[in-house]
Structure 1
Amino acid sequence: MDVVFLHIALKKLDPDTVRAFEMEHRSSEMPSFHSFASFVRDQIKVMQRSPNVKQEIKRCVDRRQTQPSKIAGSLTYVTATSASLQHACIVCKDKHGNLYNCATFRKYSPSERYKLVKTNNLCLNCLSDKHLVAKCNSRSVCSTCARKYHTLLHFENSNIAASSKADKEFTPTKVNDSSGRPGDVALCSLANMGAQPPSTVLLGTARILVRDSRGNEQSVRTLLDSGAQNSFITRQCYQRLGLVINRSLSCPVEKGIGGTSKASQGYINLKFYSRIDRNVNFDINALVVDRVTERLPTVSVDTSAMIEFKNLTLADDTYAVPGNIDMLIGASLFPHLLLNNKVRGNSSHTAPYALETVLGYVIVGSAPIMDSISATSYCGMAVEPLESLVRKFWEMEEVNVPPIASSDDRLCEEINVRTTVRDRDGRYSVALPFKGDVLSLGDSRQMAEKRFYSLELKRSL
């Protein structure tokens, strides 16, 4: 009966207490219920001597900065653990949770710590005795070199190159719970992501004036490209202008990067004017295509870092804001637009330039983009429904009433206890229970014989 009571009692305990009980009774012999009761009483005394159940906050940092343009962040996890069930430290024999909290262990040199961890078969990453580093689920790494081992095991003269600058270490904060009972487990995380401002490349854009079919001037945003043999205009733009398209069988085939080719839909002849000087105008033939390029620039540009361009007459006032490109002016006209003057953005060797053209100053080169800083917080708590808590309460408080056994059940139990044996092969054998009152079955022989003769007669036919 001790086995049954012990099994039921262990199911009522939490996993940490069960694990502590198993560690205390490591022998192959089955522990008795009396030893279990003594263990529980000892645990109660420990809890009563500690009025405040200590809780420890474990924080894991697993974010490292690999490139200046990539996002660097920190992730914090909060879990609650009871300090009353902690095992004794292998160094100082004190109960202080994990090995990295041991003051004596911290006084050792890194080589001595490493030898101690290897000798006791501990995990190199989290210093736990439950698993090795190959099976460690912890996402934390060394804060010095970002390798998968604990920071306390890092050698100062190690040949391991630091691949990134890790986040600063911080001391875990102790939180006391005066309720005297384990609380709900809550997981909280806070991720702060700050991106250092990378740069993008500005291509020269300008706004020109084009007369439509009704004689009205419309603004067209164009890209100045010295690497294009032809000039292009989007189908949407020429439809807006209402100009006539010339469809010819000899329309050239446009080729892009990688040798991809596509035939144009035709070409249109148009005249455009400069916004700053109406006397400057050009006639060009532009091939009609579905799209010239993507929106330019690809991201918003930080104009505060280019104050040198503030007083210039720009060819495109919206050069820093992503927008559609309606037209492309190729190399056949590009050199006729350039003038001699140019202005440098700042003293940096990667600063953009403002090139003077007859359309205004065109901004070309590398430029910083807008800073992107975002903070995301999340807090989740697992709370059981009220119905589940009430059901557990009644199940725990309900008195187990054993079922009333009938006379046949008692007889079967008696036969089972009396006749159950174990043979040499390890198999169990038990006698089958038979009813003692055979007369209650009645006189069935005559009926069975009639059925037997009837079956014989059917088969003989």
Structure 2
Amino acid sequence: MNKHVCKICSKKHHYLIHTEEINKSSFKPENNTYHALKLQTNKNVLLSTAVCNTVDKHGNYQTYRVLLDSGSQANFCTMEFARKLGLTLTKNNLPISGINNSLCQSNYSVTVKLYSRYENFTLDIVCAVLPNLTDNLPAESFCSSHLNLHENLFLADPNFNISSNIDVHVGAQYFLNLILPNKFVRNQHFPLIQETRLGCILAGNLPLNVTRNNSASSFFIRNDNKLLSKQIEKFWEVEEPILVKQTSHDNSICERNFIENTIRNKDGRFIVTLPRKSDNIKLGDSLNNAKNRFLSLERKLIQDPSFKKGYSNFINEYINLGHMSELNSKDLLIPDSEVFYLLHHAVFKETSLTTKLRVVFDGSAKSSNGLSVNDTLMIGPTVQQDLFSIILRFKVHNYVITSDITKMYRQILVTQKDSNLQRILWRKNPEQDLTHYALRTVTYDTTSASFLATRLVQIANDNNYQFPNACRAVLNDFYVDDLITGADSVHEIKQLKTDHKLTNDRKFDSLSSNELEFTLEFFIHQSQLAYFKSEINYLQNQRFILKQSKLSSLDPFLDYKGLLRVGGILEHPNLSFDKKHQLILHPHANITRLIIHSEHLCLLHAGLQLTHSSLRQRFWIVNAKIAIRSIVRKCLKCFRFNADNQSQQLGQLPSSRITPSRAFSSCAIDYGGPIMIRHGRQKSNILSKAYIALFICLVTKAIHLELV
């Protein structure tokens, strides 16, 4: 006997004797716990249900009934529903317990597509599979006429009053995303009507005792033992491949900013716009801090001539290459809130084979209001593959090749406006005045520099048709500015090296027609991915799009380049492929506005109809007339030439103008001049001013001139 007291029964023995209690309690700390409550009540409460569409494995539309529950942290569906649609079952173990420790477990999960009948809205919901979810809802059918619902009300569940089974249970993860602002509350005895993306749902008290079964159901799910959950996750995360992360809102804005604002100058260099978090964020004064830091740096340069020489050489290289330029007096008048002065200092790297001293610009230094330029910029998504995957591929090649991009960041220009956020101070000698410079290229150590530089590497797709192997290596085997790739044979590695050389040595003095075409198709493709993502996904996976889509009437398809085009009925006429199947453009995309503007100028400022007709030879713009009209109306030249001539309203004629009389009995007088006249003799040099008096007869219009 143990002298200590048992912590289970308080008797003098060891608590491990209670094997049943120990085994029972050991099951409690599970990862996810589902709680269900069912009780008796005298009130009739209506739960929110909806009817949605989905597509089974054969591509046929099916309808199912959904229970919307804001108190649940998980989603469920019945096994019968999963088998009916032919959904793929994924093995999992989800312990579920109810009130009074009633236990069950879900062994499978499925992904259910939800299509709204109310609007163009789609959700992918991961559901745990159970044999049954709940009793039929409502408990008994009742007559909905007692609720006096408006006949034009679009109900999420048209048969909400008919007792039937529930196929899917949607929890709080998606519930709040479905809610729209409009709702109607009559009084506490009637159910609330709430507008959602699925239609109008009803929930709450019913005015009549319409059912004899007074049982009510409530659902609640929570996550217990989060620490244990995190520890377990680490085991399987090590074994799992890296998953593609969902794109955040800021990353989407960064990507769209890049697609819509990146251009190429006549020399072939790309010009990018820095992705700012908001245009309303104002910077403080950064000039004083930059002055103090530079004066401190200058004292160090004077004390070490070799240090000064290396630092000056680096800055001079920046200036000579056009990577920074001196500001004029007009530029210095821009408000402090729209400019930022970067601090700079030297970094030494003795192992470097090229540049042992490098000047680093500090974008994180704070201005007078506590904000730095890095605080105003978005980081942007990671667009290159992870280093681990690149090295793994590198090891499987029989022959390998490595390369890097020289001065990668400084190959990319920034806009004139954004260069004001990259100002620095510099002078060669203390005897000179401080000179203000603006950095014209993407600057390392700024928040968005890595994204902008690596994102431009992805534009290797421009040359995919000519150099597919090189482009594949650039897209998959680049880590920042380093290329780590290879091939299986010497011939392939030589061809890869040749393709890279041809790509890098290409001159950009003037773009060829093929290059312009590649560039145009690239930006159209990026625009379509941004605005027609769901339609493209459906066409890639199922080869059809939903009828609710705005493009459904166009019978769209993807060509061999992945571009979204109009289907139509012009397959047999003797027309070009572009005229038969126009490229589909979104009216709000920046590339669409540029195409419309360019066509408007090429047609010598043509009007709406002519511009539209010309564009339709190759492009199909959704809501084209509205988009074209907005561009044409903003054209300054068209506005000037189409301006209405203003005419002044004539006043009433005076009686003297219309009453017969002798000449000059009624007259008007005016003066002209001055004129210079000579006094005295013909050769006199004395000049004086004189004026001409003009007398006009108001009746006969005769005139008389007098020198005054």
Same fold (TM over 0.5): no
Please state which structure has a larger fraction of its residues in helix. Answer: 2
If the TM-score is normalised by the length of the shorter chain, which range does it land in? 0.3 to 0.5
TM-score in terms of structure 2 length: 0.23
The structure that has the greater radius of gyration is 1
TM-score in terms of structure 1 length: 0.35
